[in-house]
Structure 1
């Protein structure tokens, strides 16, 4: 692919600085580095590719011996200016970005395609939406910054991160500043890897949302990696399926958010839940009266069990997760295999169903899943 031509005056004085270094060994001073940063910022404002800028800077030194040290400093300053300009542009358009994300995720179609192009999204393509739950709330943000004087237990690692955030000018005294700082850092890291015209990161309904093309499956893993690194314990990521067009983004977002809700209801232990793996559960809930009848008919006898129904439900969940292996289920539960055998016999006597029978196993497992989804018996 041809590299775009840069304006003639963009790197004015660059070749002369290289020649001076080749002759005297003198590195660029602060004024020269500031000029490079300004050139990098101008290139970003003109929409020139960073690759073209760096290529031009390196090409100028091809015929000059021993200019690697000055080239390293020059390229570093150019990239610093370029990235700073990109981040400044993102911040200046934050209000427009938030409005666009709200419209996109709610399916409001007014000038959506035109505005999407401005943010680098080509809505004719298929997109995958990934959401992360576990953003620090206002109280956590205050504690992390040491503003809540009643909380003396702030972790030193968090204090270090807060100093980093204040140095970056992103936190100040706004309780939501830490959330914005985390969002900005994750978005910047994703843009560095995939480019500013491939991902969109925003906060909506308490979730960190990432919209990426389906042709970039690595974006989901990269997003999850940064969530794991920056979110406090208890985070969870939901991944929607790939869908095409503006309506597809809305559908994928709703699937990702629903995956988190289903994972909570089912008490899943995994950190990353994919809507594609949970397709059966919306089907179950579609006929709520039928699933309620199944749960009541099969599991209500467990309410009469001595010690309560919960240990028996947990035993069934462990058996299903262990593919019927009672020893493995016992390890999951932290009890002896004999205790598992005893509980399964109680379940058979109370309900008339046994997980050892293939047909009855399916009925039992569906009933247990339905019970978790419905919050049975408390909300059943």
Structure 2
């Protein structure tokens, strides 16, 4: 270790050996469990202050600042690095060689003041360097994490490379995983806050392996293994959605949130498949104006099937339900009656309760639908086409929006 001490003060002898600095450094490092080489640029400054009263120059403090960056890069926390410097300071003062000590109280006071000033300067630049390096490390980690999340959800073509990258994040892509999306239902929903809260909650609930929480496209993406959910719910992706919604409420995340979880699928392509299912289900829930805060992707599978052949579903809605527009006021009332009737399990009494009308009104409207369309909800061979057309109308947001024109 190079002490780098400066000029001698008149009447003061130089220390016979600088081995004592190495002893101070080793003792402080052992006590704080920090690398001794973080003291290389610091101990000579302290010794120079104690012996000669010299303040460090800018370039010397810059060298200490670099030690702060090294500490962060080596995983040494700022608190431990500061403890190392404080420990080294009092040990150095206590172990000053006898030949450099003075019986002059004023000299002792001046030396102590010089040491404290160097300590103050050195700790300040040490922490500054540590913080700069930590910020840069976080930015690098966030960039790597964001790139990994994008590739994982998209389904990177390089399968072997994706498996290796996933292992760095503690994820075994050979196992089935759910992907859940958490989206704000209020314009001012704080997605970053929700992501931070949910990350802690997910780790507490499922552990820090096989889980991932990130932000993407203004939503929180949550990846959890299917093994963490009960067998019955795991296949549906329902359980994880309900748990995340509970965590949002329990931890008082402001605003209203919608949670959608895709089903679990194994393999590298399982994650993007679950993500795509959740993303499509979330979009469908918004288009259908669903009021549910937890949406089960499985419940929307029929809409996904219908949506994949828009030309066919447009023809079905136009052919089956188009005649309802002949009614004064439009098709909306009769369409809502059909929807309520099907949702009530074909029970007119329950449909009337949901619509806040009489049973007679419901039966009259259903008869009117049969008269206009030629499809009766009471006939099994016609009911399927009628209900499918109603589902398609919801998907197309008809009659609020006009049907797309023929290509």
- What TM-score bracket applies, with the shorter chain setting the length? 0.5 to 0.7
Give runs of ≥4 in structure 1 deviating > 6 Å: 9-12, 88-92
Q: How does 1:39-50 map to 2 (within 5 A)?
A: none
1:299–1:367 contact (8 Å) kept in structure 2? yes
Which residue of the other structure, out of 367, 371, 377, is the alignment partner of 2:389?
Answer: 367
Q: State the alpha-carbon separation in 1 of the partners of residues 384 and 311 from structure 2.
A: 19
- Pick 1 or 2: higher relative contact order, CA cutoff 8 A, min separation 6: 1
Q: In the TM superposition, what is the alpha-carbon distance from 1:91 to its structure 2 partner? A: 8.1
Which residue of the other structure, out of 82, 97, 101, is the alignment partner of 2:149?
Answer: 101
Q: State the alpha-carbon separation in 2 of the partners of residues 90 and 121 from structure 1.
A: 20
Q: Aligned pair 1:113/2:125, yes or no?
A: no
Q: State the alpha-carbon separation in 1 of the partners of residues 297 and 201 from structure 2.
A: 25
Q: State the alpha-carbon separation in 2 of the partners of residues 348 and 221 from structure 1.
A: 40
Spell out, residue by residue over 1:173-197, the C-alpha distance to the aligned partner (whole angstroms, 9 max, x if none). Answer: xxxxx43222111101111221111
Q: How does 1:164-313 map to 2 (within 5 A)?
A: 178-217=190-229, 219-229=240-250, 230=252, 234-313=256-335
Query: Structure 1-normalised TM-score?
Result: 0.62
Q: In the TM superposition, what is the alpha-carbon distance from 1:136 to its structure 2 partner? A: 5.6
Provide the residue aligned with 2:21 in structure 1.
Answer: none
1:259–1:278 contact (8 Å) kept in structure 2? yes
User: Alpha carbons of 1:233 and 1:337: their partners in 2 closer, same or farther (altered >3 Å)?
Assistant: farther
Provide the residue aligned with 1:17 in structure 2.
Answer: none
Q: State the alpha-carbon separation in 2 of the partners of residues 192 and 263 from structure 1.
A: 29
Q: In the TM superposition, what is the alpha-carbon distance from 1:247 to its structure 2 partner? A: 1.5
User: Alpha carbons of 1:234 and 1:305: their partners in 2 closer, same or farther (altered >3 Å)?
Assistant: farther
Q: State the alpha-carbon separation in 2 of the partners of residues 304 and 228 from structure 1.
A: 47
For the residue of structure 1 that corresponds to 2:260, the secondary structure is strand
User: Alpha carbons of 1:285 and 1:135: their partners in 2 closer, same or farther (altered >3 Å)?
Assistant: closer
- In the alignment, structure 1 segments of 5+ residues that lack a partner are 1-8, 13-41, 47-87, 142-177
Quote the RMSD (CA, aligned, Å).
2.8
Q: State the alpha-carbon separation in 2 of the partners of residues 194 and 266 from structure 1.
A: 32
Q: State the alpha-carbon separation in 2 of the partners of residues 102 and 264 from structure 1.
A: 23
Number of residue pairs matched by the alignment: 263
Q: State the alpha-carbon separation in 1 of the partners of residues 157 and 312 from structure 2.
A: 37
User: Alpha carbons of 1:204 and 1:332: their partners in 2 closer, same or farther (altered >3 Å)?
Assistant: same
Q: State the alpha-carbon separation in 2 of the partners of residues 10 and 196 from structure 1.
A: 31
Q: Aligned pair 1:127/2:189, yes or no?
A: no
Spell out, residue by residue over 1:200-227, the C-alpha distance to the aligned partner (whole angstroms, 9 max, x if none). Answer: 1111112211111111126444223223
Please tell me whether Structure 1 or Structure 2 has the larger radius of gyration of its CA atoms.
2
Spell out, residue by residue over 1:326-346, the C-alpha distance to the aligned partner (whole angstroms, 9 max, x if none). Answer: 121112112222221222122
Provide the residue aligned with 1:355 in structure 2.
Answer: 377
- In the alignment, structure 2 segments of 5+ residues that lack a partner are 1-29, 34-71, 77-134, 230-238
Q: In the TM superposition, what is the alpha-carbon distance from 1:364 to its structure 2 partner? A: 0.7
User: Alpha carbons of 1:344 and 1:232: their partners in 2 closer, same or farther (altered >3 Å)?
Assistant: farther
Q: State the alpha-carbon separation in 2 of the partners of residues 357 and 312 from structure 1.
A: 18
For the residue of structure 1 that corresponds to 2:172, the secondary structure is coil
Q: In the TM superposition, what is the alpha-carbon distance from 1:371 to its structure 2 partner? A: 1.1
Q: State the alpha-carbon separation in 1 of the partners of residues 324 and 347 from structure 2.
A: 22
Query: Structure 2-normalised TM-score?
Result: 0.59
Spell out, residue by residue over 1:132-156, the C-alpha distance to the aligned partner (whole angstroms, 9 max, x if none). Answer: 221664xx26xxxxxxxxxxxxxxx
1:136–1:231 contact (8 Å) kept in structure 2? no
User: Alpha carbons of 1:191 and 1:179: their partners in 2 closer, same or farther (altered >3 Å)?
Assistant: same
2:320–2:389 contact (8 Å) kept in structure 1? yes
User: Alpha carbons of 1:90 and 1:274: their partners in 2 closer, same or farther (altered >3 Å)?
Assistant: farther
Q: How does 1:316-335 map to 2 (within 5 A)?
A: 316-335=338-357
